[in-house]
Chains A and B, each alone.
Chain A
Amino acid sequence: MDSYNKKNFSSDQDIKWCPGCGNYSILKQVQTILPEIGFPKEKIVFVSGIGCSSRFPYYMDTFGLHGIHGRAPALATGIKLANPDLNVWIITGDGDGLSIGGNHLIHLLRRNLDVNILLFNNEIYGLTKGQHSPTSKLGFKTKSSPLGTIDNPFNPLSLVLGAGASFIARTTDRDPKHLREMLLRAQEHRGTSFLEIYQNCNVFNDGVFENFTEKSKKVNQTLYLKQGELMRFGSKKQYGIRLDGIYPKVISLQESSYSFSDIWTHDENDRTKAEILTRFFGTPGYEKFPRPFGVFYKEERPTYDMLFHDQISLAQKNHPMSLDILLSGDLHCKI
């Protein structure tokens, strides 16, 4: 197992994503972390639905199942319940996971099946050549919204936290180091890990996340979350987030009487605070807040696959049954 390297996880298939697509970076980081996680590759399964991101399994030299649009969580549920020893990854996108497959996604999260979800969010339908997605910003003009969209986008992390996710985190394709760290954290978590990856579609929605990826802009507009550390950002870390009751505020350490003790310390285990953090989404009232990246929330709770198999084992132990007894029923007659 120790002898695995990145190459061991590259399949022999030609990669057919557009040159410059953010997916390459994600593929590379996934292939890099897998040798480290200690799973033999025959026990790793990549499952996907439909969309650019969903071609991912074909490029991994593990077991892989490219399913139907939005249904990867359902496929993964069957796989994990059939064989809980498998290490299962769901690769999905904003259209696949949040639109056509939204129902499966929220139910997977509430059940807390022990799988990892990587949601590649590029705020566009790429494979169908540029229609607005459920994460496209309000007013966004696309082929299917020539006058701009009139439907509010989902706030994915807010949605999944509401659905009962036990691990939520955000990263980008442009920050390989952070991406790698988040992949490892997601993999480490027992239960459903939800990792949103801001992914640039350089053909149909180029630069949609540049505020959070371009060096000059990101410094004032991103907040990197670290467990137990103060929430500070800015070129000189001069800004901080302060909680005023239940209301967050951006404060400047330079221009006021605030000190470090006024700044909020990140606690991944605090659900209420995680809910506040997910609202840093540029929506009215939150325009001035930086976009958080990192692990927002994690919680240890029993996984669905464990509970599922425990019930079966317990029933088999407490009320053992043989097929012959089941067939004969509790009432029969001799003729």
Chain B
Amino acid sequence: MIFKKILEQVTILFAGNSGDGIQFIGRQFTNTSAFLGNNLSTLSDFPAEIRAPRDTLAGISGFQIHFGSVEITSPGDFFDVLVVMNAAALKKNFPFLKKGGKIIANTMGFTSKSLQLAGYTPDVDPLKELYDYDVYPLDMIGHSHKLLQNFNISQKDKEVAKNMFALGFIYWLYSRPLGYTEYCLKQIFKKNTKLLQANLNVLRAGYNFGEISETERFIVKSSNRPSGIYRNVTGNQSITLGLATAAIQAGLNLFYAGYPITPASDLLNYFASYKNLGIKSFQAEDEISAITSAIGASYAGDLGVTGTSGPGMALKQEGLGLAFMLELPLVIINVQRGGPSTGLPTKTEQSDLLQAIYGCHGEVSIPVLAPSSPSRAFTVAFYAAKIAIEHMTPVILLSDGYLANGSELWRFPKTYQLDTICPPFLKNSKNYSPYQRDEIGVRRWVKPGLAGYEHRIGGLEKEDETGNISYDPKNHEKMVKLRQKKIDFIKKKWPKPRIDSGKKTGKLLILSWGSTYGIVRAAIKILLSEGKSVSHSHLEYIYPLPNGLDTILQNFKKVLIPELNNGQLIHIIRDQFLIDAIPFSKIQGIPFTIFEIVEKVREII
């Protein structure tokens, strides 16, 4: 038995041409690691084109996973291992490989042509010059061809199977079982036994290659988390599960309407796959129809939900205003991507916060929530639906590309552990008026079908209580204030903001929101170990701002607000609390690194 070295945490980057199946093997490795109980965080980075030019830097697709037995809250700044399918993948990512790190390379991706396209000198193999690194040059294609020479499948299919060789080898290196991937391959190639056998053979060959390679092997033990049952979940998946759960908990049908758009398309795909749970999913003809049909569904008594990204969110503004004016429940998910316009479709950004809060015309006020991580997205989506239903209002859920495609270990709840959701349906009222409000400003939800309660509602300004059309000046002002008051009340339901790490007072507070949570948390850990007087507080419930945030802010000399935009939350904080907070912007389509946050703090205090 070979001695296996125990590691606390490892960061691996899989990279290759888009079309090499990089995202696929990344997800396979992730799910297998989750199955072993590792903590993990992942980051997908891929081009907007389905098959970008081969072997060029622009065409590289990457999947990064940071996994371990210790707390993992970010995908990691630097890699321990690079799995590269070609020279361009190495060229692009080598600067982030730790000194002495491992490089697992597909040698056929290092032909002189590939080297040239990647910007290397064509005749010098860079793999042979990396003396300080642990290089594993693997002839993945050669192995695949040899193994599959008697298989009656196309040359292309034989080449594509090379990613299975890489996956098999890395499974061996980190002592992971093949079972989950074998199970998945069986599902994928249900109807093509030849391709199934071919892929299984290459996967096992990669694993067996490890066995005979006399290479050092590693073990990463399962997490030190509280005991329980865990699974892996991506941000997009988690949101769909949270909303489906909320609808069922409220005793409502969920109606999801979407239009395909990166990086939100998976929301539509997931909902479409939940038909056996009674979920209704509708692929609309455009973004406008998606939100408007969801409003129609809510009007008729379902929980209407729609999801989109940047340009689609712009198109939905008119519908948002209608939902707000009608006072019907609606959840709108915006998986933010780089903007403006088409911008960076596959890259992450947090640049739609001000749009979410201030986007609509007229005096509109819509609650905004932003989950901090893929697993938190379940809970935050659940509460977005609860607020929408119980307060009869549209609610915006701000996700982003990093969160949507990133994944982490999640301790999923049992349905009996969930909070209740009570739709404000009408209960015996003799003098019903459509816009009569209860003590928290909420009107009753009367759906078509209830005899004796026929009524008309619309986007025109309404008379208080009756809902009849009214152009009366004083009534309009009153209605604007009543609608605002209803939303303001919601802040009483938000969890109280708290210090996530660090002391309650000090020199510097980092105030973050949305998906930057994990990276800031990891940075704070380093800074605290250096003895810095720094703390971290994080916002998931952004509008209306929760009560108690002012007290937290007052206890620090300075406040730093890191955002993946040109400064948006900072405007709101300055506006609300009149404090001179310090902005920290990154607008590169990628998340912050831990190092960037650490350096910024060192600069300030």
Tell which of B35, B244, B279, B284 touches A333, judged by Cβ atoms closer than 8 Å.
B35
**Whole-angstrom CA separation of A68 from B295 in the bound complex:** 11
Are the CB atoms of B454 and A75 closer together than 8 Å? Answer: no
Chain A nearest Cβ from B162, distance in angstroms: 25
A246 close to B (CB within 8 Å): no
Chain A residues with CB under 8 Å of chain B are: 11, 13, 40-47, 57-58, 60-68, 71, 73-83, 85-86, 103-104, 107, 308, 311-312, 315-316, 318-324, 326-329, 331-335
CB-CB under 8 A from B228, the residues of chain A are 334-335
Task: Give B452's nearest chain A residue, CB to CB.
Answer: A42
* Extra A-B contacts (14), CB below 8 Å, given A46-B456, A83-B300, A83-B301: A40-B451, A57-B458, A68-B318, A74-B284, A74-B289, A77-B284, A78-B298, A81-B255, A81-B293, A104-B285, A308-B282, A312-B275, A312-B279, A334-B37
Binds A, one of B409-417, B491-499, B536-544, B590-598: B409-417
State whether A71 touches B292 (Cβ < 8 A). yes
Contacts of A66 in B (CB 8 A): 456-460
B147 at the A/B interface (Cβ < 8 Å)?
Answer: no
Q: Which of B180, B280, B457 contacts A331 (CB 8 A)?
A: B180
Task: Give bound CA distance, A64 to B37, whole Å.
Answer: 53
Closest 9 pairs (CB-CB, A-B)? A78-B296, A66-B458, A64-B456, A82-B300, A74-B292, A78-B297, A78-B293, A315-B275, A75-B296
With A79-B296, A312-B280, A324-B414 known as contacts, the answer to whether A63 contacts B459 (CB < 8 A) is: no
A320 vs B449: C-alpha distance when bound (angstroms): 29
13 contacts between A and B (CB under 8 A): A58-B456, A64-B455, A67-B458, A77-B289, A80-B300, A82-B299, A83-B301, A107-B284, A308-B282, A312-B280, A318-B276, A333-B231, A334-B37
- Give the tally of cross-chain contacts (CB within 8 A): 214
* B274 adjacent to A321 (CB under 8 Å): yes
Q: Collect the chain B residues with CB atoms within 8 Å of residue A73's CB.
A: 289
Binary A-proximity of B322-333 (CB < 8 A = 1, otherwise 0): 100010000000
Asked if A312 and B278 sit within 8 Å, CB to CB, the answer is yes
Knowing A42-B453, A64-B457, the reply to whether A324 touches B415 (Cβ < 8 A) is yes
- Judge whether B107 is part of the interface by a CB distance below 8 angstroms: no
Residues 389-432 of B, flagged 1 when their CB comes within 8 A of A and 0 if not, give 00000000000000000000000111100000000000000000
* Cα separation A40 to B449 with both chains bound (whole Å): 9
Contact indicator B274/A326 (Cβ below 8 Å): yes
> Are B454 and A335 in contact, with the CB atoms below 8 A?
no
Instruction: Give the distance in Å from the alpha carbon of A222 to the alpha carbon of B34 in the complex.
Output: 73
Task: Name which residue of chain B comes closest to A63, CB basis.
Answer: B448
CB atoms of B230 and A43 under 8 A apart: no
Q: Is the CB of A311 within 8 A of B296?
A: no
Give A6 Cβ to nearest chain B Cβ, in Å. Answer: 15
Alpha-carbon separation in the docked complex, A251 to B216 (Å)? 95
Do A328 and B412 have beta carbons less than 8 Å apart? yes
Check B448 against A68 for contact (C-beta < 8 Å): no
Q: Which of B293, B326, B453 contacts A74 (CB 8 A)?
A: B293
Q: Across the interface, do B276 and A321 meet the contact criterion of CB distance under 8 Å?
A: yes
With A68-B292, A333-B34 as contacts: A42 and B297 at CB distance below 8 Å:
no
Measured CB to CB, the nearest residue on chain A to B378 is A327
Interface string of B315-347 (1 = CB under 8 A from A): 000110010001000000000000000000000
Could you tell me if A82 and B255 are in contact, using CB atoms closer than 8 angstroms?
yes
Partner of A42, one of B288, B415, B450: B450
Residues of B within 8 A of A104 (CB): 285-286, 288-289, 292
User: For the complex, is B31 an interface residue (Cβ under 8 Å from A)?
Assistant: yes
Contact yes or no, A65 B241, CB < 8 A? no
Q: B418 — nearest CB in chain A belongs to which residue?
A: A323
Residues of chain B with a CB closer than 8 A to A319's CB: 276
